[in-house]
Amino acid sequence: MNHELRKPGTGQVKLKPGDTVGILGGGQLGRMLAMAAARLGLKCQVFSPDPDSPAFDVVLHATCAEYADVEALELFANDVDVITYEFENVPAATATVLAARRPVLPAQTILETTQDRLIEKDFVKRLGIGTADYADVSSMASLRAAIVRIGLPAVIKTRRFGYDGKGQAIIREGDDPARVWEDLGTKSAILEAFVPFEREISVIAARGADGEVECYDVTENEHRDHILKISRAPAAIPDDLAAQARSIAEKIANALNYVGVLAVEMFVVPGSGRHQVLVNEIAPRVHNSGHWTLDGASISQFEQHIRAIAGWPLGKPLRHGLVTMTNLIGDDIDSYEQWLTVPGATVHLYGKGLPRPGRKMGHVTQVTAMPPKTG
């Protein structure tokens, strides 16, 4: 263990091979982070309340305890040199306990921005970056007022704890807003104008503590039942629009004083004469739409994240060709043997238990050569 690392919360971390990274969360993202760290000679310890966490399978030491278990958190912190997380809904009390003992990266303050959709939207808007029109909704009366201002169709989302389409609903003309409000079951929501987007894209960006930022090529994403199904890199958008998207991600990473990898999800919207990019959400972690980087780039998002939180130089991500990532969701996992026979395909299985509808069981990346440039 690196006993020189004793400045919690400063972000000034410099690990050396043999040091230990603590990961909050034991899902597939934690699993792939631990595997990337191992290749760099770093050890990992995973903290998760789920005894069946797939990340437990790839680390020597793991803590299976609730995030509210202060004693377990303290013991975990004592055994690691820096702490990161694979999901953004880390309880505030958990982050506070850990940050008092070890550096937590990305910083706890970033979670306060990204865990709340309204605070996040306000943050993006203050940066002068476009988003869908939105309104704070805390009652039936405020929902009706928001609908009058924003119009229908619109999307209502809980301000906290929503992912993969959970905690949100579309309100269309003729719908009963009171029924939708009751079904959502919250007193804290945000109403967003429905965006008639042409395509969904994301940018995976990494930022080091020294302010260096590296962005991957813009990724085009296709969702089914609100869950990412296919990512393609590069996105089929003009170069100037791709440059704008990367610039937005870099601006957000710098404004947050971010350390690690984050994803910025965006919409490409047709405009008068030209397209524009609107930010949808920020994910302060490695992201499903960046899985293509495992086999399709010179450095994966997972290694890039580990480098950033370790205080090591970031890599320059070079894409190997045209890359497609396909999520294996639920019973899709049954087709893994067929994928093993596809030339240019690499199969990643997460070691989870029984497949369930909507459960991400693995993914496949396919890399093909870039067509030669003509003219």
Whether 48 has a pLDDT exceeding 50, the answer reads: yes
Whether 372 has a pLDDT exceeding 80, the answer reads: no
**Predicted local confidence at residue 6, as pLDDT:** 41
- 1 closest CA partner among 107, 71, 102: 102
Q: Give Dmax over CA atoms of the chain in angstroms.
A: 66
Whether 1 has a pLDDT exceeding 70, the answer reads: no
**Predicted local confidence at residue 10, as pLDDT:** 44
pLDDT, tens only, 78-102: 999 999 999 999 998 999 999 999 9
User: What is the mean predicted confidence (pLDDT) over 142-163?
Assistant: 91
Report the b/e string of 321-330 with b at 16+ CB within 10 A: eebbbbbbbb
pLDDT, tens only, 301-332: 999 999 999 999 999 999 999 999 999 999 99
**Sheet containing 82-85: order of strands:** 61-64, 43-48, 20-24, 82-85
**Predicted local confidence at residue 8, as pLDDT:** 44
**Predicted local confidence at residue 165, as pLDDT:** 60
Whether 5 has a pLDDT exceeding 70, the answer reads: no
User: Of 133-147, 149-163, 240-254, which range is least confident?
Assistant: 149-163
CB 272 within 8 A of CB 265: no
pLDDT, tens only, 103-117: 999 999 999 999 999
pTM: 0.94
Whether 217 has a pLDDT exceeding 90, the answer reads: yes
Bond preceding residue 317 cis, omega within 30 of 0: no
**Predicted local confidence at residue 167, as pLDDT:** 84
**Predicted local confidence at residue 185, as pLDDT:** 87
Report the b/e string of 139-168 with b at 16+ CB within 10 A: eeeebeebbeebebebbbbbbeebeeeebb
Q: Quickly count: other Cβ atoms within 10 Å of residue 27's Cβ.
A: 19
Q: Is the dihedral of CA 85, 86, 87, 88 positive or negative?
A: positive
Whether 285 has a pLDDT exceeding 80, the answer reads: yes
Task: Assign 128 to helix, strand or coil.
Answer: coil
In what helix (H) or strand (E) does residue 247 lie, and over which residues does it extend? Answer: helix 239-255
**Predicted local confidence at residue 9, as pLDDT:** 43
User: What is the mean predicted confidence (pLDDT) over 319-347?
Assistant: 97
Whether 161 has a pLDDT exceeding 80, the answer reads: no
Give CA–CA dist 42/308, Å, rounded. Answer: 13
User: What is the mean predicted confidence (pLDDT) over 49-64?
Assistant: 98
pLDDT band with cut points at 50, 70 and 90 for residue 188: very high
**Predicted local confidence at residue 163, as pLDDT:** 65
Phi then psi for residue 65, to 5 deg, are -160, 165
Token output for 222? 């296709």
* Helix-helix angle 92-99:70-78, to 10 degrees: 40
Rg (CA), the chain: 21
pLDDT band with cut points at 50, 70 and 90 for residue 164: low
Average pLDDT, the chain: 94
pLDDT band with cut points at 50, 70 and 90 for residue 291: very high
Give CA–CA dist 324/367, Å, rounded. Answer: 7
Whether 44 has a pLDDT exceeding 60, the answer reads: yes
pLDDT, tens only, 265-275: 999 999 877 89
List beta partners, residue 366. Answer: 324, 345
pLDDT band with cut points at 50, 70 and 90 for residue 369: confident
Whether 4 has a pLDDT exceeding 60, the answer reads: no
Of residues 373 and 135, the one with the higher pLDDT is 135
Number of H helices, E strands in the chain: 11, 17
- 29 closest CA partner among 158, 124, 163: 163
Whether 216 has a pLDDT exceeding 70, the answer reads: yes
* Helix-helix angle 28-39:301-310, to 10 degrees: 70
121 Cβ neighbours under 8 A, 6+ residues apart? 131, 134, 190
Q: What share of the chain is helix, strand, coil (3-state, %, to 5)?
A: 30, 30, 40
